[in-house]
């Protein structure tokens, strides 16, 4: 490792770039979809920043390199790490556990061991590139042990952590055999951010129950232990968002507008296009959505000539068995609905098992009269926010599951409980039949809300809280007097 050092380090399991191999065999890096990089890129450039993460392929051993003004520090994950750390502990233990055990989590000690060792590898790499007193921002459930490991190695650092997925209620979290280690791992951070107020509450409760520390939202008192002085940790909600202006700009472009018209035409000019966009994941309630749509067709409340459901299901974690099974189930259901209700000229469900570039997504949002989000549990759901950002015409209806983080903010959507199939059906009918004036009123309110908290606002709020927490720690020997802090994102109403 060279002796390069940075003042601001972001760490996430995946790097913000994907490695692509061109036709002539040369490898290059392309910005991966997702807003995190958009939000952090300007901060990274200003602050002399580096991004530590995995390059997305097994056994990829690469030296740090520059990408678009950002220093990229790749971490190698072996085939064995992928199996035990990524597919195992991250996506077959933590993911189902943190999403309310919609699928059963599997607990294996060898997976845990791998989680510890990969987290340690990340912590070592971050420690090696951090300058004295640097700020480190660690992201998501794959790296929950990193804050503590890092604090032990480098007490001079300011450490933030943001959990992009839900944090479960104690009754569920307490299943985890390594629950204490996870909580202690996270408490190594100065500020721990969550999507919802409820997630931060669940975390603080777990801290009280498991460690007996006193908490008074948003402060957690970590008592003095051995050589480590007492500290105060902040745990609170910072709801993430998207690049709202960028998305709107894209949606307004003549190319995207033309493509949206073309999509409607290609679908046979239905009166209504209902859209679903998800990673193919069991947390997204795609089966519930298809059931509701199929029943509406069966009952004649919808006619296949009038309505098409476009379901984009991007491939995800395909080596994990639960995901394999889900794909089979969804594709069987789509096949059955199309077989039962499709005609030569009209398909009931247009199912697309691909990821699409941002431009195509924007065109789909512009074309869609209704966006249907039926997640059974979702940290935020940025698709809902993208749809709202794209609808500069103040039209379109958002049907949104109340089990998404987004539903805390997007209160004028048609909110649904996806388990209540009759309720979902009624909401879909109401969305399809909604008069223009009501659509406009609701969408305007949604757009105002999304504009108020875009991804830059999110990252600035988090980093401000982090800087403030550290400043007070420096002044008092512990983080103090938090009552005076202005918590700008506290405006999110409770669910
Ligand atoms: C969610 C998680 C991310 C993860 C993404 C894609 O959004 O919060 O941390 O990167 O899913 O999943 P993958 O397993 O492909 O990284």
- Condensed to tens digits (0 to 9), the pLDDT of residues 10-40 reads 999 999 998 888 889 888 898 887 667 777 8
At 486, the pLDDT band (50, 70, 90 cuts) reads: very low
CA distance 176 to 376: 21
Best mutation site among 32, 54, 88, 164 for ligand 1 pocket (most ligand atoms within 8 Å of CB): 164
Q: 341 C-alpha to center of ligand 1: Å?
A: 35
Task: State the pLDDT at residue 476.
Answer: 55
Select from 404, 421, 422 the least CA-distant residue to 413.
Answer: 404
Distance CA 457, CA 452 (A): 8
Distance (angstroms) between ligand 1 centre and the Cα of 140 equals 9
Query: Band of the pLDDT at 488, cuts 50, 70, 90?
Result: very low
**The pLDDT value given to residue 40:** 83
- Give residue-wise pLDDT tens across range 77-110: 999 999 999 999 999 999 999 999 999 999 999 9
CATH architecture under which domain 244-452 falls: 3-Layer(aba) Sandwich (3.40)
Is residue 493 scored above 50 in pLDDT?
A: no
Handedness of CA 106, 107, 108, 113 (dihedral sign): positive
**Comparing 115-129, 334-348, 367-381, 460-474, which segment has the lowest mean pLDDT?**
460-474
Q: How far is CA 229 from CA 160, 273, 281, 478, in A?
A: 18, 59, 43, 8
Task: State the pLDDT at residue 489.
Answer: 34
Range with the poorest average pLDDT among 224-228, 245-249, 376-380: 224-228
CA dist list (Å): 409 to 193, 380, 459: 17, 10, 17
pLDDT level of residue 483 (50, 70, 90 thresholds): very low
Residue from 118, 161, 279, 315 to probe ligand 1 pocket by mutation (most atoms less than 8 Å from CB): 279
- What is the residue with the minimal CA distance to atom 12 of ligand 1? 316
> How far does residue 427's CA lie from ligand 1's centre (Å)?
29
Judge whether 217 and 185 are in contact, CB under 8 Å. no
Whether 136 has a pLDDT exceeding 80, the answer reads yes
Mean pLDDT of 209-214: 98
Measured in angstroms, how far is the CA atom of residue 464 from the centroid of ligand 1? 25
Residue nearest to atom 14 of ligand 1 (CA): 317
**Ligand 1 atom index nearest CA of 164:** 8
Mean pLDDT of 228-239: 95
- Distance CA(234)–CA(489), nearest Å, equals 14
CB contact burial 173-209 (16+ within 10 A = b; e otherwise): beebebbebbbbbbbbbbbbbbbbbbbbbbbbbbbee
Please check whether the domain covering 6-240+456-490 is classified as CATH 3.40.50.300. Answer: no
How far apart are the CA of 317 and the centre of ligand 1, in A?
A: 9
pLDDT of 346 higher than 70? yes
Return residue ranges of the chain for CATH 3.40.50.2000. Answer: 6-240+456-490, 244-452
pLDDT at 1: 52
Q: Is 284 in the pocket of ligand 1 (CB under 6 A)?
A: no
**What spatial distance separates the first Cα and last Cα of the chain, rounded to whole Å?**
47
Q: Strand order of the sheet with strand 370-373?
A: 349-352, 307-314, 272-279, 370-373, 397-401, 414-416
| Contact 140 CB / ligand 1 (< 6 Å) | yes
pLDDT of residue 41: 80
Mean pLDDT of 380-394: 97
Between the CA of 66 and the centroid of ligand 1 the distance, in Å, is 23
Q: Ligand 1 centroid vs 153 CA: distance in angstroms? A: 27
Report pLDDT digits (tens) over 273-282: 999 999 999 9
Res 492 pLDDT > 90: no
Whether 303 is in the pocket of ligand 1, judged by its Cβ within 6 Å, is no
The whole-number pLDDT of residue 35 equals 63
Task: Please give the order of strands across the beta sheet that includes 231-237.
Answer: 65-67, 70-75, 49-54, 6-14, 130-139, 158-162, 191-194, 231-237, 219-222, 215-216
Q: Which two tokens stand for residue 140?
A: 């998501």
State the chain's mean pLDDT as an integer.
93
Token pair recorded at residue 324:
């394999």
Range name among 296-310, 438-452, 476-490 with the lowest pLDDT average: 476-490
- Ligand 1 centroid from CA 12, angstroms: 10
Q: Is the pLDDT reported for residue 484 higher than 70?
A: no
Q: What is the pLDDT of residues 162-203, one digit of tens each?
A: 999 999 999 999 999 999 999 999 999 999 999 999 999 999
């Amino acid at each position: 490792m060279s002796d390069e050092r940075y003042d601001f380090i972001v760490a996430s399991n995946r790097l913000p770039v994907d490695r692509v191999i061109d036709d002539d065999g040369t490898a290059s890096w392309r910005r991966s979809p997702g807003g995190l990089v958009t939000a952090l890129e300007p901060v990274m450039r200003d602050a002399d920043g580096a991004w530590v993460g995995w390059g997305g392929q097994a056994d990829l051993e690469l030296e740090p390199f520059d990408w678009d003004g950002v220093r990229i520090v790749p971490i190698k994950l072996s085939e064995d790490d992928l199996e035990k750390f990524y597919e195992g502990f991250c996506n077959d233990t933590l993911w189902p556990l943190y999403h309310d055990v919609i699928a059963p989590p599997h607990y294996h000690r060898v997976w845990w061991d791998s989680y510890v060792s990969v987290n340690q590898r990340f912590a070592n790499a971050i420690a090696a590139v951090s300058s004295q007193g640097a700020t480190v921002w660690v992201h998501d459930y794959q790296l929950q042990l990193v804050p503590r490991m890092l604090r032990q190695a480098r007490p001079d650092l300011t450490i933030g952590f943001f959990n992009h997925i839900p944090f479960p209620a104690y009754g569920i979290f307490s299943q985890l055999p390594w629950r204490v280690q996870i909580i202690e791992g996270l408490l190594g951070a100065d500020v721990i951010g969550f999507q919802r107020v409820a997630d931060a509450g669940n975390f603080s409760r777990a801290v009280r129950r498991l460690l007996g520390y006193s908490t008074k939202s948003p402060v957690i008192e970590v008592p003095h232990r051995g050589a480590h002085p007492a500290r105060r940790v902040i745990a609170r909600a910072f709801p993430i968002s998207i690049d709202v202006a960028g998305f709107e700009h894209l949606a307004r472009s003549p190319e995207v507008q033309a493509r949206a018209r073309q999509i409607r035409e290609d679908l046979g000019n239905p009166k209504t296009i209902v859209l679903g966009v998800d990673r193919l994941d069991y947390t997204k309630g795609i089966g519930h959505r298809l059931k509701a749509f199929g029943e509406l067709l069966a009952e004649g409340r919808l006619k296949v000539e009038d309505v098409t459901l476009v379901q984009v299901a991007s491939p995800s974690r395909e080596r994990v068995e639960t995901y394999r099974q889900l794909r089979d189930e969804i594709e069987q259901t789509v096949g059955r609905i199309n077989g039962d209700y499709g005609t030569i000229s009209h398909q009931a469900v247009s199912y697309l098992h691909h990821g699409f570039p941002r431009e195509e997504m924007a065109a789909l949002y512009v074309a869609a009269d209704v966006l249907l989000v039926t997640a059974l549990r979702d940290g935020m759901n940025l698709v809902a926010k993208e749809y709202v950002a794209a609808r500069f015409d103040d039209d379109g209806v958002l049907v949104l599951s109340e089990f998404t983080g987004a539903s805390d903010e997007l209160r004028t959507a048609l909110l649904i409980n996806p388990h209540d199939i009759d309720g979902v059906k009624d909401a879909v009918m109401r969305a399809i039949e909604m008069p223009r004036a009501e659509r406009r009123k609701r969408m305007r309110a949604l757009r105002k809300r999304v504009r108020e908290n875009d991804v830059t606002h999110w990252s600035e709020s988090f980093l401000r809280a982090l800087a403030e927490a550290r400043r007070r720690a420096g002044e008092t020997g512990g983080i103090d007097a938090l009552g005076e802090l202005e918590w700008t994102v506290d405006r999110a109403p409770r669910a």
